[in-house]
Amino acid sequence: MSHSDSSAPVFQHSAYAGIQDKVVVVTGGGSGIGLALAKGFARNGAHLLLIDINAQAMADAKGELQQEFPETRVECFEASVTDEEAIDAAFAHAKACFGRIDVLLNNAGVSINKPSLDITPAEWRRAVEINFSSVFICAQAAARHMIEQQAGVIINTSSMWGVSHSAERTAYCSTKAAVVSMTKCLAVEWARHGIRVNAIGPGYTRTPLVDELQRAGRLDVDALSKRTPLHRLGEPGEMAELALFLASGSATFITGQIYVSDGGWTANGF
């Protein structure tokens, strides 16, 4: 069964208590899972600040969001998530626009699949800076505002590879595993301020990038689907539903956890 098989079950959007009128910051919100996260929260009545290094993608995303959810206010801030000053400015902009920051969807990241002996120092540093250091930079910036409110939710995007392992994925697995550890540390430290910190671990997900890689012959989606017990890839919206639950009033006793949504991949032995 391929990822496009029409027999695959279609997930249902749900309504989540406690999201209406929340202010949500989304990093990497211009495309892929980040855009799906933004749409999911907009569908539930949240207002958004998108942070992305790709200004055009972010502008296109804003247009989509405003067309689909006209009551949602959407602001954009062009920045690299590895630039501490720019991130501080982005969160200050969110505070100035909306008066508070309720949720951070710490989503920006990069993939690197390469034999470990071939990874250059520059490639290693890039993976660490974007997949790991930036998550801390953004969480720290958000927490400074959330501590003032004594309330907030931070959801870090790790990966199923953050809890599993593979050859030629050393940089990716290591940095995503580090995000899981950071999530737990921050959850314990900031709980006294009313801040909950959790992580989501997407499996292979049908994003535009995955579709592009498939068309270019660089990714065998059918093989990935067969390896997945549910015999399909995930949908970006399914990852958004998971984040919505963790940010909602139904998850107020959940912190310091990672929730993996991978169709059973990590449970399936080779």
Where do the structural domains in the chain lie, given as residue ranges? 23-261
The pLDDT value recorded for residue 11 is 76
| CA-wise closest residue to 46 among 101, 92, 83 | 101
**β 152-157/103-106 pair status:** parallel
| CA-wise closest residue to 42 among 60, 63, 66 | 66
30 sits in which H/E element:
none
Q: Which CATH architecture does the domain made up of 23-261 adopt?
A: 3-Layer(aba) Sandwich (3.40)
203 sits in which H/E element:
none
Looking at the DSSP bridge assignments, the partners of residue 36 are none
Per-position b or e across 249-263, b if 16+ CB within 10 A of its CB: eebeeebbbbbbbbb
Tell me the average pLDDT of the chain. Answer: 94
CA atoms within 13 A on the CB side of 98: 25
The pLDDT value recorded for residue 203 is 96
Is 204 tagged catalytic? no
The pLDDT value recorded for residue 210 is 86
d(CA 91, CA 60): 21
The pLDDT value recorded for residue 6 is 44
The pLDDT value recorded for residue 3 is 44
d(CA 267, CA 123): 30
The pLDDT value recorded for residue 209 is 80
Q: DSSP strand E in the chain: where?
A: 23-27, 47-52, 74-78, 103-106, 152-157, 195-202, 258-261
The pLDDT value recorded for residue 4 is 45
- This prediction's pTM: 0.94
Which of 16, 172, 204, 259 does the annotation list as catalytic?
Answer: 172
Given a contact cutoff of 8 angstroms between Cβ atoms, the answer to whether 29 and 51 are in contact is yes
- In order of 32, 36, 233, the CA distances from 224 in angstroms are 18, 22, 8
- Which residue positions in the chain have pLDDT lower than 50? 1-6
- Tokens standing for residue 257: 């956890």
The pLDDT value recorded for residue 2 is 44
- Tokens standing for residue 11: 């997930």
State percent of the chain over pLDDT 90.
88
